[in-house]
A = this chain, B = another copy of it.
Amino acid sequence: MAFEKVKRDENYSEWYNNLVKNADLAEHSAVKGCMVIKPYGYAIWEKMQQQLDKMFKETGHQNAYFPLFVPKSLFEKEEKNAEGFAKECAVVTHYRLKVDPDRPGKLMVDPNSKLEEELVVRPTSEAIIWNTYKNWIQSYRDLPILINQWANVVRWEMRTRLFLRTAEFLWQEGHTAHATKEEALEETRKMLDVYAEFAEEHMAVPVIKGIKSENERFAGADDTYCIEGMMQDGKALQMGTSHFLGQNFAKAFDVKFQDKNSKLDYVWATSWGVSTRLMGALIMVHSDDEGLVLPPKLAPIHVVIVPVYRTEEELNTISEKVAGIKKELEKAGLSVKFDNRDTQKPGFKFAEWELKGVPVRIAIGPRDLQNNAAEVARRDTKTKEVIGMDNLVNHVTGLMDEIQQNLFNRAGELRAGKTWEANNWKEFVDIVENKNGFALAH
């Protein structure tokens, strides 16, 4: 492996960067601040998307798609929101390139294509969406509107980190409209619960639900709720936010509805989002010095099978056996990779699949076949066991639940180990100044 190993406790930040690169998850692109999400990283993101999308639909939401561009005059309508994002806006000012007369074969921006009104590349979509909802809402019968969008957004960033902070990122943004404040507040909390459930049951990351202080709030929100997880370095990472927007956007875009008593009122709103930043959390919470550790529920490959052989005849016998095992594991709903490359030795393959975080590895050699058994290795605990063939499929499928649960427990213990109780102000200050982790204050 060309994998330059950096240990977590030597340089946590560099360990992270190295891991993202070496496990083929993502890389920096030629565009400052933008990343390329590589197929293996994208496959994990797809698993997250599928599960979240299912949960959104189960809670009554539908997907839709709104424009990438927001005309400046719409963008600035909700003033707090506009001011909050103004400093990070990529702006489209022209709509054409032309051949540069001074540099043959090169292009220049055509000055004659200047837009009358500049377009902001959406940093978030409240403005364009509320300008649309305006035409969809007349009466209480049109409410609630429960819509989600999967999209790319751009928030200009100079200091970027793969997945954690990039100028362009992928996310989902829910935007809902309600007839009452209570209903909107309920939605805000419901979606926070959905995020927490996703984080804990699928990412195996225990989270704390919180509410942001006034100056940390989403620009334009009355309240911002969030979930935070603890990374292995004891630092908190915000993993998702759910905003109660009050009537701010309804007022800015003049969105009123007639209630059951024919009274006109402004509509109540929420918005909520999680992004590819979740990839960063997933990586930072579970992985180790050998590489990625993935919870089975989000692993693109659950099981890798590595043949251990010297002759082609041995490989053939093993391959025959593996075909049956693979089929049975797939029937049980697992994704299985048979790594029969003849260009690499088993040791190399072991290290590579460890780096990629595949939850279970099965190694089979001629002696295993004689004993009607196989060696099963867990990525999370790095333990190995020899398991009889008759029980192999059963054992491996059972391991998936066990690993998922173990990762969650382990992350919980890590958090508990870095959470200090403060019984008075002095203790609290001591924790904040001298310790890494969470402070539990009364």
7 pairs, A vs B, C-beta closer than 8 Å:
A29-B66, A36-B65, A86-B96, A89-B95, A91-B92, A91-B93, A96-B156
Instruction: Indicate if the CB atoms of A106 and B63 lie closer than 8 Å.
Output: no
Which one, B31, B42, B105, B132, contacts A70 given CB within 8 A? Answer: B31
In the assembled complex, A30 has its CB within 8 A of some CB on chain B? yes
Instruction: Indicate if the CB atoms of A68 and B154 lie closer than 8 Å.
Output: yes
A442 to chain B, nearest CB (A): 42
Nearest residue in B to A40 (C-beta to C-beta)?
B62
Instruction: Indicate if the CB atoms of B64 and A31 lie closer than 8 Å.
Output: no
Which residue, of A34, A88, A132, has the highest number of chain B Cβ atoms within 10 A?
A: A34
A97 to chain B, nearest CB (A): 4
With a cutoff of 8 Å between Cβ atoms, the chain B residues found around residue A128 in the complex are 29-31
Which one, B63, B89, B97, B151, contacts A72 given CB within 8 A? Answer: B97
A162 to chain B, nearest CB (A): 12
Q: 8 Å CB contacts to B: which residues of A52-111?
A: 62-72, 74-76, 79, 82-83, 86-99, 105-107, 109
A422 to chain B, nearest CB (A): 40
With a cutoff of 8 Å between Cβ atoms, the chain B residues found around residue A170 in the complex are 65
State the main secondary structure of chain A at its contact with B: mixed
Nearest residue in B to A157 (C-beta to C-beta)?
B95
With a cutoff of 8 Å between Cβ atoms, the chain B residues found around residue A68 in the complex are 34, 121, 152, 154, 168
In the assembled complex, A141 has its CB within 8 A of some CB on chain B? yes
With a cutoff of 8 Å between Cβ atoms, the chain B residues found around residue A62 in the complex are 39, 42-43
CA distance A156 to B94 in the complex (A): 10
CA distance A74 to B96 in the complex (A): 16
Which one, B91, B97, B109, B151, contacts A109 given CB within 8 A? Answer: B91
Nearest residue in B to A61 (C-beta to C-beta)?
B39
Q: How large is the interface on A (under 10, 10 to 19, 20 to 34, 35 or more residues)?
A: 35 or more
Given contacts A36-B132, A91-B93, 6 further A-B contacts (CB under 8 A): A39-B64, A65-B170, A68-B154, A69-B90, A86-B96, A89-B95
Instruction: Indicate if the CB atoms of A94 and B96 lie closer than 8 Å.
Output: no
CA distance A128 to B27 in the complex (A): 13
The 0/1 profile, CB within 8 Å of B marked 1, for residues 147-181 of chain A is 10001101010000000000010100000000000
In the assembled complex, A131 has its CB within 8 A of some CB on chain B? yes
Instruction: Indicate if the CB atoms of A34 and B67 lie closer than 8 Å.
Output: yes
Q: Given known contacts A35-B67, A36-B66, A132-B29, is B76 in contact with A105 (CB within 8 Å)?
A: yes
In the assembled complex, A120 has its CB within 8 A of some CB on chain B? yes
Nearest residue in B to A341 (C-beta to C-beta)?
B141
CA distance A372 to B343 in the complex (A): 68
In the assembled complex, A37 has its CB within 8 A of some CB on chain B? yes
A356 to chain B, nearest CB (A): 14
With a cutoff of 8 Å between Cβ atoms, the chain B residues found around residue A96 in the complex are 86-89, 91, 156
CA distance A36 to B76 in the complex (A): 20
Which residue, of A30, A87, A152, has the highest number of chain B Cβ atoms within 10 A?
A: A30
Instruction: Indicate if the CB atoms of B67 and A119 lie closer than 8 Å.
Output: no
In the assembled complex, A46 has its CB within 8 A of some CB on chain B? yes
With a cutoff of 8 Å between Cβ atoms, the chain B residues found around residue A83 in the complex are 99, 107
